[in-house]
Amino acid sequence: MHDTMKKWVGSIGAALMVSALVVLPVHAKEARRTAAKKPAAASTVKKSSKAVASANSRVRARYVASPRRAGFVRVAVPPRPSFGQIAGLHATQDALDLRSSSALVIDQDTNEVLFSKNDSAVLPIASLTKLMTGLLISESKLATDEMITITQDDVDTEKGSRSRLKVGVSLSRGELLHLALMSSENRAAHALGRTYPGGLPAFVNLMNSKATLLGMKDTRYVEPTGLSSHNQSSAQDLAVLVGVAARDPVLRELSTSPGHQVEVGRRTLQFNNTNRLVSSPQWDIALQKTGYISEAGQCLVMQARVAGRKLVMVFLDSIGKYSRIGDAERVRRWVESLPADASPAKAIAKPRITG
């Protein structure tokens, strides 16, 4: 993809549009009476549209008061299109029929590109951001047993996401790192950046400096969680990050942990891995991270051993809750189906894959 296209895709954001659909009045009798009357006034529809436009992107339906009667109507809010959808990247056809609009698979030992699709497109990366956050915390050698308290500053005001780590809860830096990498805990990741020497601004600057040092020329960070769509990168850059992070034993262990319990006051909270493939006997995963916000779609990066190859996999902007997992499975089956002496670059034209 040309540089102009990359910049265009990466700068999309203002183009996101949200529309509203008024479904039915709550009561059937009122529905019949309403059907016989003229449509709602244009001003009413306009007000409803404004209410929907300000809704959180994860909200799929809400109720608003009817201006005519003491009742409520249900307003359905469709999901926002991702940057990749707006840019038309999903129109790109590929031999494996992936749902991700951008993907890259590399043999880490030989640096051979086995599969690529829009791999230079610059897109929001959601919680894949936490891989850089984790790498910097691990490399900092800060005390992992130092207790850190969740504050109001760690509460998500970007997307309004929830967290079981309430304000006032204290956990060790090591536990926060574990939850950030394994279960993508946003407050944990933010607290790690906030308490870094120099504070959050210093940490974000370090994130960008590290990206530059690694040669990640299309990557930009503005905060440590990935909740902001301004955290952007390309599949090519992320493959570099995965390769570096996979050499860190702490990141390997914590990101692939199936689950972890933490003591919060008198309660014990169970957190699970956001990637179900870590528990699959068909996979040998050394490092992984998932991500999702509406602007980024479903994202996944992994370093895994498949058919004797140490592969780096990047899947960005996949449509559907389980589609990133499906894409990873299709790539695994395709690589496993290749003859030992086959060249993936040639074999990709006719992938031998089922399902």
Catalytic positions are: 127, 130, 184
According to DSSP, residue 127 is labeled: G
Find all residues with CB under 8 Å of 186, minimum gap 6, and list them: 127, 154, 156, 161, 163, 225, 226, 227
Which amino acid, residue 36?
A: A
**How far, in Å, CA of 230 to CA of 208, rounded?**
13
Give 74's strand partners. 63
- H helix or E strand, kind and range, residue 25: strand 21-25
3-state secondary structure 255-291: HCCCEEEEEECCEEEEEECCCHHHHCCCCCEEEEEEE
Using DSSP, state whether 166 is helix, strand or coil: coil
* Phi, psi for residue 269 in degrees, rounded to 5: -105, 130
